[in-house]
A and B are shown apart, each in its own frame.
Chain A
Amino acid sequence: MASKFDHDVIVIGGGPAGSSFARAAAGNGLDVLVIDKRKELGVPVRCGEGLGQAEIIRQGLDLPRSCYSTEIVGAKVIAPNGKSIVWKGSQTSGWVLERKVFDKWLCELAVDKGAKISSYTRAVGIVRDGKGRPQGVKVSHGGREPYDISAPLIVSAEGMESMMAREMGFKTVHSLYDVDTCYEYEMKPYEHENLLEIYFGNKIAPRGYAWIFPKSDRKANVGIGIGGLAENGSKLGGVTGADPKTLLDTFVKGNDKLKGASTLLDFGGVISVGLPIREFVKDNCMVIGTAAKQVDPIHGGGIGLAMEAGLLAADTAVKAHAKKDFSRDTLFEYEKRWRSVTGPTLENRMKLRKVIEKVSDDDLNHIFNTLTEKDLNDVMMNNFAPAALKVVAKRPQLLAVLRGLLPGK
């Protein structure tokens, strides 16, 4: 029997979440359409482009050489006084991507599995049935006259903007407290050590950090992200607000290894460092990836999490399709699984973020003097207690701030 719908699923957004969903759902026989409003998938780049290898390996993918700029072996975190700790371990390998190539590659994998992708196609509204349930999307291709496409399941993988998720009733607007605003240059030359360099300090980057991510051919992404509530800058119209660019220029000037380096690209963005939204599914619709704020609250990284959510949601969508039941109850399986597998990790990371943002530069220097690479590894693996105990033993006045990371809490 022919379906009354044009497709089984419409995915809004062709980033890592949407294309991973499409690959998995189409691979299991669903008719999937992905629409992306950008003229070119993956453009513009809005992030530092770092990705750990865990999720790529878990999904059995073989990352082509063209998708990444350089491999990384670990990270180096640097205290305000310049003291650094290098962290290299089994979990620290990864890549600094070429997002533009990477995003397109993921989309092509989805196409290979039978999904359809339509670029420069913007969702302008949600089509609903008599009970208000989503049954399709009104789209405009290249700004032309809008038309309706129908499907019994709509997946928002829209990233930060998430306009259609909002229209479907999800609370995806970001608060200033839960975003970092970032400015970044691609620079050359920079002699790097295949390590992600992270610089902490309230002076360098209030409630945030500066980073130097290595790229190929002596290039690097050099950026700063600061809390959305920062008031370090004078914005247009006499308003004070967060100004990462001025801080980035100061940071670049103060770094001897970047003296005389050129800027090859300006980019930036606002990243989410909050907790996931309260619900991921409603009747006939799901939200995945950064649109659902499935991001790491420490650094806002979301590529691996988006790919993971895409697969989980696709698994549920395939079952819903087989049952011809797209009710919230059926779709909730995706949310339940995500919240039991990944939710607790991100909640722990949020705890750590809330501690880091209360620590002064002097305390940070002390903490870096106390901790070893092993301690840092524990912290990154969400085992906070050993490091927190060590710090408090040497500086008891930090007990109040670190209390949340101690055992039993």
Chain B
Amino acid sequence: MITIKHDGCIFCVGCSSVCPANAIEAVGTRMKTYPEKCIDCGICVKVCPANVICMYKGIKDWKDLPEGAK
């Protein structure tokens, strides 16, 4: 799954436009992620112009993220 540092996000929806799994979407004023759909491909991380997306391979749930990543 991925996490997004919302305080640096410029809300460009680039991540969503390249996500092959429909796992990111602009909702309200933020990008919302759907960890259960994420396929850990990392394309959004590579393309993010603001460098605010971090991938945690193999993790499917917020509660399993390492300390400091939540």
* Chain A residues close to B by CB (< 8 Å): 37, 39, 44, 46, 122, 143, 159-163, 166, 173-176, 179, 181-183, 228, 231, 233, 235-237, 239-245, 266-270, 272
Contact = CB atoms under 8 A, between A and B. Distances in A.
Contacts of B39: none
Contacts of A143: 27-28
Nearest to B43: A176
Given A161-B16, A267-B10, A270-B17, A181 B48 contact: yes
Contact of B22 (A122, A163, A237, A243): A163
Contact of A245 (B15, B25, B28, B51): B51
Contact of A161 (B10, B26, B49): B26
A268 B10 contact: yes
A266 B20 CA distance: 27
A245 B42 contact: no
Nearest to A237: B54
A176 B10 contact: no
Given A46-B12, A236-B54, A270-B14, A161 B25 contact: yes
Nearest to A231: B46
Interface string B51-62: 111111000000
A269 B16 contact: no
A176 B14 CA distance: 11
A309 B55 CA distance: 37
A181 B45 contact: no
Interface of B: 5, 10-20, 22, 25-29, 42-43, 45-56
Given A39-B29, A174-B18, A236-B53, A161 B13 contact: yes
A157 to B, nearest CB: 14
B45 A235 contact: yes
Contacts of A228: 18, 46-47
Contacts of B16: 160-161, 163
Nearest to B57: A237
11 contacts: A37-B26, A122-B27, A163-B22, A174-B17, A181-B49, A182-B49, A236-B53, A241-B45, A242-B49, A269-B14, A270-B15
Nearest to B69: A237
B57 to A, nearest CB: 9
A138 B56 CA distance: 32
B49 A237 contact: no
